[in-house]
Homo-oligomer: A and B are copies of this chain.
């Protein structure tokens, strides 16, 4: 495994929370794993399978997503959608995200004054 620099670690911390937000927002529409990954990638957010699939399962376990097995193109796939509790979480996290954005913008605007 490659060495991870402190800056990379900080970047990963930054991504971790944002990915949850993007996943919940994207699953306002139903997706299976691969199509979710593709939809996020199209929006510039690359999340590898080893991160995305466990995250989705964790969010389902927490009641924020619901899933259903269905056949599509002759293959059984597990489709995920946001739950009512997930929608609530999404709205609260978005509020928090916007507050954080405003604080960071204010800090930068001040130019460290």
Interface residues of A (CB under 8 A from B): 6-7, 10-11, 13-18, 20-22, 25-29, 39-40, 43-45, 62-64, 82, 88-89, 92-94, 96-97, 99-104, 106-108, 110-113
Contact B20 A17 (CB under 8 A): no
Q: Is the interface of A mostly helix, strand, loop or mixed?
A: helix
Contact B99 A29 (CB under 8 A): no
Contact B26 A107 (CB under 8 A): yes
Contact B97 A25 (CB under 8 A): no
Decide yes or no: A11 and B112 within 8 Å by CB, A43-B106, A100-B45, A104-B25 being known contacts: no
Decide yes or no: A92 and B45 within 8 Å by CB, A17-B15, A29-B113 being known contacts: no
Contact A25 B89 (CB under 8 A): no
Contact B18 A16 (CB under 8 A): no
Q: Pick the contact of A108: B10, B11, B25, B44 (CB < 8 A).
A: B25
Decide yes or no: A25 and B101 within 8 Å by CB, A6-B64, A13-B17 being known contacts: no
